[in-house]
Structure 1
Amino acid sequence: MPDRVALVTALQGAGWHPAAWRTAGPAAARLTGLGHWRDVVVEQDRLGVDAVTIEDSFTAGPVDATGELDTRTVVGRLDALLVASAVAPATRAVGLVPTVSVTHTEPFHVATGLQTLDHVSLGRAGWRIQVSPTAREAALFGRRRGDQDTDDLFAEAREVAEVVARLWDSWDDDAIVRDVTTGRFIDRDRIHDARFQGTFVSVHGASIVPRSPQGRPPVVALAHTAAAAALAADTADVVLVTPGADGLEDRDALALVRDAEQAAGSEARRPVLADLAVLIGSSRAAAADELAALDAAAGTPYALGSGSDTAVLATTVPDLVDRIGALRDLGYAGVRLRPLRIPADSTAIARRLVPALVTAGLRADVASRPTADLRTRLGVPRAVSRYAPSSLEVSS
C-alpha cells in the first residue's frame, strides 16, 4: 500500500466540462496565450501537485452528432508538448506530461521533442501516450485511411513506444566527453544504433538529442478498456484507470491493470492512478448546484457515459480526501483529477485539497516533498539503458 499518494492535475482548456468557458470570466480569453498556461501550471507547482498532464488531439475540439465541431465548447488548442516546454523554465518541481499521439507522428519527433522537454525541465518530463482513431484526424495528414482498426492502432502504438525507448537509450549518459586534448566532443562508441524494423515503423540510427536527465521520461497511459490496459502493460510506467466506466468499481478497475500485467508476463507492478473528473464546492449542495448550472448551460448533463469516460464528482474537499484515502487503501498509488472548471477547480485542488491531504497524512507537506525527477515522484524505478553493461550482460 503506498504511504504517500501521487496527485496529478489534468489540464484541458477552460476545464473538462463543455460549458466551463462560460464561467471562466477573463480567463476564457487567455486560453491560447502562454500566460494562461503558465499561471495555472505555476500554481500547481508552487503548492505541491506532483505533475500536470496537458491534453492534446488532432481535432480542434469535440464534435457533435453530425461529426462537425461542437461550437458550444472550446474550439482550438495549443500543442501540448510546446506548451510544456514553454512553461518549464517558470516551474521548479512539478512534472510536465504532455499528451503526444503516436498515430500520425513520427517516432523520431516524439522521442526528440520529449527528450528536449526533459532537458529544459531538468528531469520533469513525462509522456501521455495516445492513439488517434478518427477519419477526421487522418484527413489532416492524408497519408492513411481513417477509422483504423483498434487492434492495428494499438499494435502501431506498441512499435512506436519501442522505437522511442530505443532512441532515448541511443546515447550513453557519458557519451559527451569534451576532451579538449584529443579534440573529441563525443565518444562515438557510446552512441548506439536504435535499429528497429516493424510492421508499422522502422528506424535506423540514433537520436540527435543526448540522453536526458531521466534517461527515459515516464510513459503514462489511460487504461479504460481491456485492450487499452494491455497496451499500458506493454508500454507504460504509470497507468490511469477510470473507476465507474463499463461498470467497473474501484477494485475492478485496478484489477484490470494487474490482470493485463500478468497476461503480458510482466513482473512489474506499475503505479495506478484513479482518473476522476471533479467540481469542488464549498458544500455538497453547492457543488451539485454549480454542476447543474453548467449542465443547463451546455444543454446536456456532463456525466459518465454522457461526455465523460470517467466518474464525474460534484464534491467537497473533505469528501474527496476520504475518496482518495479509500483508493489508497485498495492499492492505488494516487489520483489524476480532471478539474471541470479552470481555474476554479484547479485552484481548489492546489490551494485546498493539497493541504487537506497533508493533514490527513496522505502526503508530505510542500517543504519536505521530493524535488527529484518525475520518475522518483511517481514511484517509477530509475531507467537503465538497454546498452548499459549490466543490461547487456542480462540480455546475453
Structure 2
Amino acid sequence: MSTAPTGRGPLHLSAAIDLPDVYDAPPYAELALLAEHGALDFVTLGDSFARAGLDALGVAARIAPGTGRIGLVPTVTTTHTEPFHVQAALATLDWVSRGRAGWAVDVSATEAEAKLFGRRHAAPREELWHEAGEVADVARRLWDSWEDDAEIRDAPTGRFIDRDKLHYVDFAGRFFSVRGPSIVPRPPQGHPVVVVDATAPQARETAARYADVVLVRAASAERADAARAELRGLAARFGRDPRTLRVLAALVVDLGGGECAAEPGHGGGPLPTAEGPSYRGGPVDLADLIADWHRAGAVDGFHLTPVEPRRDLERLVNGTVALLQHRGLFRTFYPGSTLREHLGLARPANRYAALVEETSLVEETSLVGEPS
C-alpha cells in the first residue's frame, strides 16, 4: 500500500442526505445545512426510476438558495433522458447554487424502468455505461459552447450575446448526436463536478475517463488502495492526469450506539453487506478508521451514507468530523466558494475559446515576414 506522506492530499468528506418518503424541502435543507456546518465537501441526493419519490435534481435546486458553501450532488440517470436537457438542468443548478453543483451519474438497466418511457428496451449495463460516458462528454462540450464572456448585455445596442463566442459542438456519438450550442451560459465552475460510483465493473472505464470524483466500495484499506490505483492507472491510459481524480471510499454508517466502541469486526474496518461496506459503532472509532485509511494513502476521503439520516448525520458532524478537525486532519472552514475549490480541482479551460486563440496565434505567426 502507498504510505508515502508526500502522496497524501487533504482529506475529503461527503455524505448522503436521502430521505425516503419525504416530500417536503425543509428536511433536506436541514440536513444539507448540518453537513455544511461540518464543512463537508458535498452532499448527495439519490434517485432512481425504480422507485417513487422526488426528483433529486429538483430538490437540489430548491435547497441551493438556503445553503452557502456545501456542494450539491443529485443523482441523474442518463438512460432514457435527453443529454441536452441533462446538461441544461445541471448548468442551471450550478448557477442557482453559485458554483456548487455536481451530478452523480447513474444508469437504468431494467425492463420495468424502460417501460416507464416506452422508447426502447432495457440494454446491457456495459452499453448503458458507454452511453453515460457519451452524455458526460457532450455535457462538457455544451457547457463550453458559451465562452465565459459571451454575454454582452448591452442595453443601448440591444445586444445580449456575442455570437462569435457561441460554438456548435457538432457531437456525433454511438448513441446520439447533438449540435448545440447550449441554451444556458457557461456554468460558474465551467464544468459541474462529475461523480461516478465505480462499484460495477462496467462503470470503471466511464469513471476513469470522465469522473472528477469516484466512489469505491471496499471493506479494507488494502482493497480501497488497489481500487484507487486501478482507477488512476486507467485515467492515465486515457490521457488524464491521475492526480485530478478524487477517489472516496463509500461506507454505510450506523452511529446509533453513540460513543460505544465499534461492534466486533468493525473496529478493524467495515463489514461487507448487501448494501456495501458497513460501519457500526461510535463516532470516535469511525474517526480513527477515516484517519488511518487516509494516512495510509489508500483513499482521498470518504462518502458516508447514514443508516438513520437525522440521527447519524448529527453524530457524524458533531462527533466524528469535530474530532478529525480537533486533530488537524480536516478543515474547519471552506477556503473557497465552489465545489471544485473544496475538492482542490481547477476550473477547466474552455475548449472552444482555447481553440480560437490557438488558431488566431497560428494565423498571426504565418503573417510574420510576409511583404506588406
TM-score normalised by the chain length of structure 1: 0.82
Residue 371 of structure 1 and its aligned partner are, at CA, apart by 3.3
2:124 equivalent in structure 1: 149
Conservation of the 8 A alpha-carbon contact between 1:54 and 1:80: yes
Aligned to 1:230: 205
Whole-angstrom distance in 1 between the partners of 2:133 and 2:90: 17
Paired with 1:346 and 1:104, the residues of 2 have a C-alpha distance of 33
Q: Quick one: which of 185, 192, 195 aligns to 1:220?
A: 195
CA contact (8 A) 2:287 2:321 kept: no
2:41 to 35, 50, 53: 50
Residue identity matched to 1:39: E
2:16 to 6, 10, 14: 10
Contact 1:220 1:237 in 2 (8 A): yes
Deviation at 1:4, TM superposition (A): 2.5
Q: Displacement of 1:372 after TM fit?
A: 2.0
Q: Does residue 311 in structure 1 map to residue 277 in structure 2?
A: yes
Q: Pick one of 82, 85, 109 that aligns with 2:61.
A: 85
Match of 2:234 among 260, 281, 286: 260
Tell me what 1:109 maps to: 85
Residue 355 of structure 1 aligns with an amino acid whose one-letter code is: A
Assess if the C-alpha contact under 8 Å between 1:240 and 1:274 holds in 2: yes
- Structure 1 residue identity aligned to 2:293: L
Q: Is the 8 A contact 1:41 1:52 kept in 2?
A: yes
CA distance in 2, matches of 1:2, 1:177: 43
CA distance in 1, matches of 2:219, 2:9: 24
Q: CA deviation at 1:364?
A: 2.0
Confirm or deny: 8 A CA contact 2:254 2:308 kept in the other structure.
yes
Q: CA deviation at 1:391?
A: 7.8
CA–CA distance in structure 1, aligned partners of residues 306 and 101 of structure 2: 21
The aligned counterpart of 1:251 is: 225
1:323 equivalent in structure 2 = 289
Correspondence for 2:368: none
Contact 1:384–1:391 (CA under 8 A) maintained in structure 2:
no
Alignment match, 1:297: none
Aligned partners of 1:383 and 1:265: how far apart in 2? 15
Query: What does residue 161 of structure 1 align with?
Result: 136
**Of 302, 310, 317, which residue of structure 2 is paired with 1:335?**
302
Distance 2:324 2:222 in 1: 26
Q: Distance in 2 between matches of 1:120 and 1:316?
A: 37
- How far is the alpha carbon of 1:265 from its aligned partner? 3.7
Tell me the residue number matched to 1:98. Answer: 74
- RMSD in angstroms over aligned alpha carbons? 2.4
8 Å contact kept, 1:284–1:314? no
C-alpha contact 2:126 2:203 (8 A) present in aligned 1: no
Distance 2:101 2:173 in 1: 27
* Structure 1: tracts of 5 or more residues without a match: 15-27, 61-75, 292-301
* One-letter amino acid of the structure 2 residue matched with residue 353 of structure 1: T
Q: 2:100: which partner in 1? A: 124
Match of 1:389 in 2: 354
Distance 1:95 1:391, change over 3 A: farther
Letter matched to residue 143 of structure 1: R
Query: Where does residue 173 of structure 2 map in the other structure?
Result: 198
For residues 339 and 238 of structure 1, what CA distance do their matches in structure 2 show? 20
Whole-Å separation in 2 of the counterparts to 1:3 and 1:156:
32
Query: Are the structure 2 counterparts of residues 152 and 96 from structure 1 closer, same or farther at C-alpha, using a change threshold of 3 Å?
Result: same
Distance 2:95 2:190 in 1: 10
Q: Deviations over 1:238-263 (max 9, x none)?
A: 11111139x97222222231232234
Give the conservation status (yes or no) of the 8 Å contact 1:385–1:391.
no
For the residues of structure 2 that align with 1:379 and 1:371, how far apart are their CA atoms?
A: 10
Instruction: Give, as a single letter, the amino acid of the residue that structure 1 aligns with 2:172.
Output: Q
Q: Distance in 2 between matches of 1:391 and 1:254?
A: 36
Give the match for residue 365 of structure 2: none
Indicate conservation of the 8 Å contact 2:64/2:97, yes or no: yes
What's the secondary structure of 1:249's corresponding residue? helix
Distance (Å, rounded) in 1 between the aligned partners of 2:356 and 2:140: 14
**1:242 paired residue number:** 217
2-side partners of 1:87 and 1:111: how far apart? 19
Residue in 1 that maps onto 2:159: 184
Correspondence for 2:50 among 26, 43, 59: 59
Aligned partners of 2:29, 2:50: CA distance in 1, in Å? 23
The question of 1:172 aligning with 2:147 is answered yes
1:33 to 21, 24, 34: 24
Would you say 1:350 and 2:324 are equivalent positions?
A: no
Query: Which residue in the other structure is 1:370 paired with?
Result: 335
Residue type at the aligned position of 1:34: A
Which of residues 255, 259, 271 in structure 1 aligns to 2:246? 271
In structure 2, C-alpha distance between the alignment counterparts of 1:390 and 1:329, rounded to whole Å: 41
What amino acid maps onto 1:160 in structure 2? V
**Offset of 1:118 from its aligned partner?**
0.4
Q: Offset at 1:114?
A: 0.6
Q: Secondary structure at the match of 2:352?
A: coil
Task: Determine if contact 1:220/1:239 at 8 Å carries over to the other structure.
Answer: yes
Instruction: Give the TM-score of the pair, scaled to structure 2.
Output: 0.87
CA distance in 1, matches of 2:38, 2:213: 23
- Paired amino acid for 1:316: G
Q: Which amino acid aligns with 1:385?
A: N
For residues 242 and 49 of structure 2, what CA distance do their matches in structure 1 show? 32
Task: Tell me the distance in 2 between the aligned counterparts of 1:206 and 1:117.
Answer: 18
Indicate the residue corresponding to 2:109 in structure 1: 133
